């Protein structure tokens, strides 16, 4: 009888040991599969910060070597080519004035994956142990191949860059010489009331009524729209707000490359302006179209979308802001 009891105990111990080993294996597998910056702190710590181009091959621009070629483009656009990596796994790709938000991860071997917003593509690469340079190569149709040097270990710190990316929300940085920035009134604004109201959120496009703002040094109000093109084609939008004789009369347009984010300020030019916060059911539409990024030919019929520009009470939009914190920032 004692012998039988011993066998039962041995079987029970064997089962418990197998269970422990099984759980350990599962936990180990889960642990090794975490590629987030938080899961690979050592590797991520080397990446966080701002990396500026050293040597670039860009399909649209050709070979831009450090020195003459790259410097020429910096002077032409008054902008740099750089990646800013945040500790939270988000970042911003500045491609000579184009702003493209991204998320990033790093695995245990130090391989970095940068995923641009929407279907704009992604980059992979890693830091060279000998040179300390970061090389990122585009995948799929994007043949971009960039070698970068770290100019800051803090995300968003462009203090040592020749040109600091222009921040539309603070009016700081260098204004790039691009068509979308030609008219100062469409980019210089001072936010007077944040709204953060989502207007459109599809596979192709994200658009929100980000804020009410004023033209600096005046009482002229306008709407600030946050726009992100999540489509592989170029986006074009024409805004028509109000009418010619009412308290709201505003027009604006924006053109965005795939994966690009832009804040469009549309000032109210009505001769009898009313408070934009107090306007009830203002008439507002945006005409949306997409063009092939290579041939610039339309890929679909233009679509007119009605926009709800009613401003919610502060308590409501503050709640929405918390729910949408850094939706695509």
Radius of gyration of the chain (CA): 25
308 has pLDDT over 90: yes
Could you read off the pLDDT of 238-258 as tens digits, one per residue? 999 998 889 999 999 998 888
Give me the CATH topology for the region 183-323.
Immunoglobulin-like (2.60.40)
26 has pLDDT over 50: no
91 has pLDDT over 90: yes
Higher pLDDT, 64 or 243: 243
Higher pLDDT, 324 or 229: 229
Alpha-carbon distances, residue 197 vs 52, 101, 220, 309, 310 (angstroms) = 34, 20, 21, 9, 9
At 125, which helix (H) or strand (E)? strand 122-127
Could you read off the pLDDT of 99-135 as tens digits, one per residue? 889 999 999 888 999 988 766 678 999 999 888 999 9
Residue 250: CB atoms within 10 Å: 21
Choose among 87, 96, 117, 3: nearest CA to 53: 96
Over residues 43-52, the mean pLDDT reads 87
At 41 the pLDDT is 54
Choice among 52-61, 81-90, 201-210, 281-290 with the minimum mean pLDDT: 52-61
Domain ranges of the chain: 39-152, 183-323
The matching CATH number, chosen from 3.30.420.40, 3.40.50.1820, 3.40.50.300, 2.40.128.20, for 39-152 is 2.40.128.20
The rounded percent of the chain whose pLDDT value lies above 90 is 41
DSSP 130-188: TT--EEEEE-TT---EEEEEEEESSTT--TTSSSPPPBTTTTBSPPP--GGGSSGGGT-
Q: How many CA atoms lie within 13 A of 11 on its CB side?
A: 6
Choice among 13-22, 58-67, 197-206 with the minimum mean pLDDT: 13-22
167 has pLDDT over 70: yes
205 has pLDDT over 60: yes
Over residues 146-171, the mean pLDDT reads 90
98 has pLDDT over 70: yes
pLDDT tier at 177 (50, 70, 90 boundaries)?
A: confident
At 60 the pLDDT is 67
Please, what is the Cα angle at 97 between 50 and 112, to 5 degrees? 35
At 20 the pLDDT is 38
Diameter over CA atoms, the chain: 103
d(CA 93, CA 139): 16
At 156 the pLDDT is 92
Could you read off the pLDDT of 221-236 as tens digits, one per residue? 999 999 999 888 899 9
Partners of 251 in the beta sheet?
A: 240
Three-state DSSP at 96 gives coil
At 118 the pLDDT is 65
| The two three-digit tokens of residue 85, written as one number | 């990596």
217 has pLDDT over 70: yes
């Amino acid at each position: 009888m004692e012998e039988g009891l011993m066998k039962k105990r041995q079987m029970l111990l064997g089962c418990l040991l197998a269970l422990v080993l099984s759980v350990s294996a599962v936990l180990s597998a889960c642990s090794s599969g975490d590629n987030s910056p938080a899961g690979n702190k050592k590797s991520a710590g080397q990446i966080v910060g701002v990396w500026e181009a050293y040597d670039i091959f860009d399909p649209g621009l050709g070979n831009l070597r450090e020195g003459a070629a790259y410097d020429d483009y910096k002077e032409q656009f008054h902008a740099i080519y750089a990646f800013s990596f945040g500790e939270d796994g988000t970042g911003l790709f500045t491609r000579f004035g184009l702003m493209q938000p991204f998320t990033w991860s790093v695995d245990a071997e130090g391989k970095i994956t940068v995923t641009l917003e929407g279907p704009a593509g992604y980059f992979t690469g890693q830091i060279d142990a000998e040179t300390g340079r970061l090389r990122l190569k585009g995948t799929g149709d994007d043949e971009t191949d960039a070698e970068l040097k770290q100019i800051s270990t803090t995300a968003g710190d462009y203090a040592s860059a020749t040109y600091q990316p222009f921040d539309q929300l603070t009016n700081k940085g260098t204004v790039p010489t691009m068509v979308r920035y030609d008219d100062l009134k469409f980019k210089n604004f001072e936010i007077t009331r944040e709204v953060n109201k989502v207007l459109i959120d599809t596979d192709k496009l994200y658009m929100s009524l980000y804020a009410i703002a004023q033209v600096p040094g005046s009482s002229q109000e306008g709407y600030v729209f946050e726009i992100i093109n999540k489509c592989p084609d170029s986006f074009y939008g024409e805004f028509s707000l109000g009418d010619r004789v009412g308290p709201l009369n505003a027009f604006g347009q924006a053109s965005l490359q795939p994966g690009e984010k832009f804040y469009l300020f549309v000032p109210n030019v009505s001769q009898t302006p009313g408070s934009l916060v107090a306007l009830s059911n203002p008439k507002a539409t945006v005409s949306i179209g997409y063009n092939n990024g290579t041939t610039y030919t339309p890929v679909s019929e233009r679509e007119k979308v009605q926009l709800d520009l009613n401003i919610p009470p502060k308590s409501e939009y503050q709640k929405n802001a918390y729910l949408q914190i850094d939706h695509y920032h």
